[in-house]
Amino acid sequence: MKRVGVLSVQGDVSEHTTFLSKVCTTDFKVSEVKTKDTIEQVDALVFPGGESTTIGKLLREYEVDIVLKKIASKGIPILGTCAGLVLLAKEGDEQIEKTRQPLLEVVDIKVSRNAFGPQRESFEHTLEIPVLGGKPYPGVFIRAPAIDKSWGKVKSLCEFEGRIIAAQQENIIVTAFHPELSGDMRLHEYFLDLI
Ligand code: GLN
């Protein structure tokens, strides 16, 4: 039985948990994780969207930032969506620098927060994601970030309006959009295949 954890600090934790429960076969156990011990025991981890400034502060307060870096470097598959993408990034834009928002600095990307406008300009758009096959993928963007620069072992998985909005660095997948709200299971399946 493989343990899939959903980091339950803040944000759309229940949406990911509910969606994963539909995607996962009986070989997987999905549970919410927040403590050092439970995070260290997962075979894969989902890092949900939400408010990255709040999540970043809480990760430090709960002292789980170090554990997250540790499991990432051990090769445990991690799926970071939206605020999860922001927090996994190695570098941030001017706004992130100015506010000294803490990042985990795990994925070799430079990220811009709110790259497609504020909350009221949230939108849906179909995307081409070659690793998921030819069928268009329904992208849900809510105050989404974008990847301005990538280096090292990072591979772009998807671009939209000339910007990278999904990428993979070995065991880690990051998306600017919300796959758990798409109704399309392919991205979660691709992620679970990394285990
Ligand atoms: N832009 C938000 C942030 O940086 C993320 C939005 C989201 O996760 N839906 O916190």
- pLDDT digit string (tens) for 19-43? 999 998 889 999 999 999 999 999 9
How confident is the model over 86-140, as pLDDT tens digits? 999 999 999 999 989 999 999 999 999 999 988 888 999 999 999 999 999 999 9
What distance in angstroms lies between residue 26's CA and the mean position of ligand 1's atoms? 32
143 ligand 1 Cβ < 6 A: yes
Q: Which residues contact 39 (CB under 8 A, 6 or more apart)?
A: 5, 7, 33, 45, 64, 67, 68, 71
From 15, 91, 105, 178, active-site residue:
178
**Token pair for 96:** 């992130």
- Alpha helices, H only, the chain: 13-23, 36-40, 52-61, 65-73, 83-88, 94-99, 186-192
Is 16 one of the annotated active-site residues of the chain? no
For residue 52, which atom of ligand 1 is closest to its CA?
Answer: 10
When pLDDT is averaged across residues 142-166 and rounded to a whole number, the result is 97
**Cβ-contact 78, 71 below 8 angstroms:** yes
**Is the per-residue pLDDT at 168 higher than 90?**
yes
Is 158 one of the annotated active-site residues of the chain? no
What distance in angstroms lies between residue 171's CA and the mean position of ligand 1's atoms? 22
**Token pair for 50:** 């939400």
49 ligand 1 Cβ < 6 A: yes
Residue of minimum CA distance from atom 5 in ligand 1: 83
- The span from the CA of 72 to the CA of 68, in Å, is 6
Residue that is written with structure tokens 């620069």 in the block:
149
